[in-house]
Structure 1
Amino acid sequence: MGKKVNAAGPLTDRGIFIATDDRVLLEALLRRAVDHPLQQAGSLAALAEELRRARVVPRTELPPDVVSMGSTVRIRDLETGEDETYTLVYPDESDIEDEKLSVLSPVGTALLGYRSGDEIEWPVPAGVRRFRVEEVMLQPERMR
């Protein structure tokens, strides 16, 4: 599991937020994945852990700077200083060339539920990646 920190240190007082309807859909995704136990096993376990510890709130109460499903977010790689922009999507919508990042990718799982300013250390196939959520540019909840 990755470690998520903010400027004050480990996020012990401020956990992640997930909208109720996102949680329902993500739990359904995990249940369907039982039929394919070898596919993305690590990603599925990480997502299940994030859902377990998340503070689940109605979509209308989701803070505006939280990364939720469908959010477009700008992150900064803390090793290279480079910025990247992604939209967090379900696996069947994923298209990295179109900057659509699957929630089952290591970085996608890491982003879910965190807020602007949060710094994240998360295991990826090449090691550990460190990045900061610079900005939630679009959150679907704010469009309604």
Structure 2
Amino acid sequence: MKTAREIRITERDMAQLRKFIEDVAWDDPRKRSELKDLEAELDRAVLVDDDHVPDDVITMHSEARLVDVETGEEMVCKLVFPDEADIAQMRISVLAPIGTAMLGYRVGDHFEWKVPAGNRTLLVKEILYQPENSRGA
């Protein structure tokens, strides 16, 4: 799904995502595949303290500007839990292939997003909002 670049996940996001994986029903084959993909990403992630996460990392509830490397098309999306997802508002579920793919990447990183026609390579251009670095602002 992604290149093998290092990804960073906050302790809080890791705990919430692990709990989500534990609590969700695994009986749907499609969901099972998505959960396994997310679990694999969590297993390879570098854990960072919530108060010391760099402000250029995509964490849960971050809003990021992404650029399709091939077409130059830009999109702004927010990474959310499945029950908060709304494609019309570009609130992308962490279980969606693009959501799992973008989690933990930094500004300047490229990642692959699997689509029916193959793979798209996206660039993390900018973090517009990251909850960990907006506290007290």
TM-score normalised to the size of structure 1?
0.87
Q: CA RMSD in A?
A: 1.4
Q: What amino acid does structure 2 have at the position aligned with 1:99?
A: M
Q: Distance in 2 between matches of 1:63 and 1:2?
A: 21
Q: What amino acid does structure 2 have at the position aligned with 1:121?
A: E
Q: Distance in 2 between matches of 1:35 and 1:102?
A: 17
Q: Distance in 1 between matches of 2:43 and 2:92?
A: 22
- Using the aligned pairs only, state the percent identity: 41
Of 85, 89, 94, the residue aligned with 1:94 is 85
Paired residues of 1:71 and 1:88 also in contact (CA < 8 A): yes
Residue-pair matches, total: 135
Of 55, 60, 76, the residue aligned with 2:51 is 60
Pair 1:130–1:36, CA change in 2 (3 A): same
How far residue 33 of structure 1 moved from its aligned partner, in angstroms, is 2.7
Q: Does 1:117 align with 2:108?
A: yes
> Cα deviation per residue 1:76-123 (whole Å; 9 max; x = unaligned)?
011211000001000000001011000001111011000000011232
- Unaligned stretches of 5+ residues in structure 2: none
How far residue 129 of structure 1 moved from its aligned partner, in angstroms, is 1.4
- Alignment of structure 1 residues 17-36 onto 2, 5 Å: 17-36=8-27
Q: Indicate the larger mover: 27-36 or 111-120.
A: 27-36
TM-score normalised to the size of structure 2?
0.92
- Unaligned stretches of 5+ residues in structure 1: 5-10
